Amino acid sequence: MNDQFTLVTGASKGIGRACAERLAGAGFNVIGLARKQPSEEFPGEFYEVDVADREALTAFLKWLTKEKPVVNLINNVGLAGPELLQDVTSETLDRVIETNLVSAILCAKYCSGAMKKSRQGRIINISTELILGAPTRTAYGGAKAALASVSRTWALELAQFGITVNTIAPGPVDTEFFLQNNPVGSDIRQQKLDRIPLGRFATPADIANLANFLMSPEAAYITGQIFHIDGGSSIASAPLF
């Protein structure tokens, strides 16, 4: 593990940051990627790259995978771009799909080379509960649903090399961004909370703990799966009580 690396996209804050910290604490060499430097010291190497810039991301990945054997990958970066169907713009579609789907494909394409050579590897794609459907999420839900689908394709293609590929689909996670749009005491926050049978929002650590498990030797026989980690909110549209 000491001479191998784990790449986490969208690693400056939220779920990505929590995954980076959890894995670094478990002994992984973490490389973080995001548009901006994190506000606090990062637990590993960090690079500023806008994953929506396909040329810049491709150039970075070509350099990185020549310099360092990346055998684990967490495609976490996300961009919502909420719009009703009649308001969807081509600009939103392009950026949301580029950020959520195309960047993940490129990261997996280049990082899987070292995984194949070492005949081991883990790829985790962070999707969302909203792949099940939600208003204003045509672009975001569609891109993240496609990401869950390609995870299963990669699981089939890469199994012969000992590489596993899984998807984590979180429900609402109490990140800084979520708090901005769902402030404490607001009606929208309470409405979302009421849909969660376990009675609380996820923390970034909840997602990171599952990612850490999927990276472990104990998870070596798990591949092609979608894990809904949402306190039960995806079971039905609302608790029946």
Question: For 200-240, how does the pLDDT look when each residue is reduced to its tens digit (9 = 90+)?
Answer: 999 999 999 999 999 999 999 999 999 999 999 998 654 44
Question: For 139-165, how does the pLDDT look when each residue is reduced to its tens digit (9 = 90+)?
Answer: 999 999 999 999 999 999 999 999 999
H helices of 5-53, where?
14-25
Question: For 70-129, how does the pLDDT look when each residue is reduced to its tens digit (9 = 90+)?
Answer: 999 999 999 998 889 999 999 999 999 999 999 999 999 999 999 999 999 999 999 999
The residue annotated as part of the active site, out of 47, 110, 140, 221, is: 140
Sheet holding 29-34, edge to edge: 45-48, 29-34, 5-9, 70-75, 121-126, 163-170, 226-229
- The residue type found at 218 is E
- Distant-in-sequence, close-in-space partners of 70: CB < 8 Å, separation ≥ 6: 4, 5, 6, 7, 31, 64, 111, 114, 115
Residue 241 has pLDDT above 90, yes or no: no
Write phi, then psi, for 124 (nearest 5 degrees).
Answer: -125, 125
Whole-number pLDDT of residue 136: 86
H helices of 48-175, where?
54-67, 90-97, 103-118, 138-158
Neighbouring CB atoms inside 10 A of 204's CB total 22
Write phi, then psi, for 30 (nearest 5 degrees).
Answer: -100, 135
Q: Which CATH superfamily is domain 5-174+205-228 in?
A: NAD(P)-binding Rossmann-like Domain (3.40.50.720)
Whole-number pLDDT of residue 154: 98
Query: Between the CA of residue 185 and those of 44, 163, 189, what are the distances in Å?
Result: 36, 44, 7
Q: Where are the domains of the chain?
A: 5-174+205-228
Beta bridge partners of 72: 6, 122
Q: How far apart are the first and last CA of the chain?
A: 48
Q: DSSP for 178-224? A: HHHHS-TT-HHHHHHHHT-TTSSPBPHHHHHHHHHHHHSGGGTT--S
Look at residues 32, 38, 25, 35 and name the one whose alpha carbon lies nearest to residue 5: 32
Task: Categorise residue 231: left if φ over 0, alpha if ψ from -120 to 50, beta otherwise.
Answer: left
Question: For 32-67, how does the pLDDT look when each residue is reduced to its tens digit (9 = 90+)?
Answer: 999 999 988 999 999 999 999 999 999 999 999 999
CB contact at 8 A, 231 and 199? yes
Whole-number pLDDT of residue 239: 45
Whole-number pLDDT of residue 1: 52
- Say whether 140 is catalytic: yes
Question: For 160-205, how does the pLDDT look when each residue is reduced to its tens digit (9 = 90+)?
Answer: 999 999 999 999 999 988 888 888 999 999 999 999 999 999 999 9
Whole-number pLDDT of residue 135: 87
